[in-house]
Amino acid sequence: MPIPEFVVDLRAKIGHDLLWLPAVTAVVRREDQVLLVQRADSHRWTPVTGVLDPGEEPAVGALREVLEETGVVARTDRVVAVSGANWVTHVNDDRAVYLDVTFACTWLSGEPHAADDESVAARWWPIAELPDMAPALRDRIDAALTDEVAARYRT
């Protein structure tokens, strides 16, 4: 589902006003490859991202998003970054800012495909050949590919 039902309900009450939403990014690795999706709205390649459901644990939400968007089953290994993303105005004029928790994940099973209408494609990309993407998304991937123990965050 592109817009979670609870956000649709909120939007019915507040219109396009700014929302602060909890979100996750799942950087799924399989050997020397990273799982990326090609977004339906912008056609840009990104790691799997999504909004958490009310009360949902971030690691559970990250794995749910991976399965819903790509059909891939993964496990979360560790939190690699926490960030307050830039303010976004979506194509429908909804304004939002996301508190993102990024997870390094490992592939367990399944071959990627666009499993919902949020993406037009999903595939494994060699780490050495990742496509151009927003710097913040590339930073999340870079954080997940390190052996750092502590999560990255901005001060």
Structural domains in the chain plus CATH codes? 5-148 (3.90.79.10)
| Other beta carbons less than 10 A from residue 136's beta carbon | 14
At residue 86, does pLDDT exceed 80?
A: no
How far is the CA of 97 from the CAs of 17, 41, 45, in angstroms?
A: 11, 18, 20
The mean pLDDT of 122-148, rounded to a whole number, is 95
- Which tens digit of pLDDT belongs to each residue from 24-49? 999 999 999 999 999 998 899 999 99
Residue type present at position 71: G
Predicted model pTM: 0.92
Spatial contact of 148 and 80, defined as CB atoms under 8 Å apart: yes
Alpha helices in 55-114 (DSSP H): 58-70
Assigned token pair, 55? 């009360």
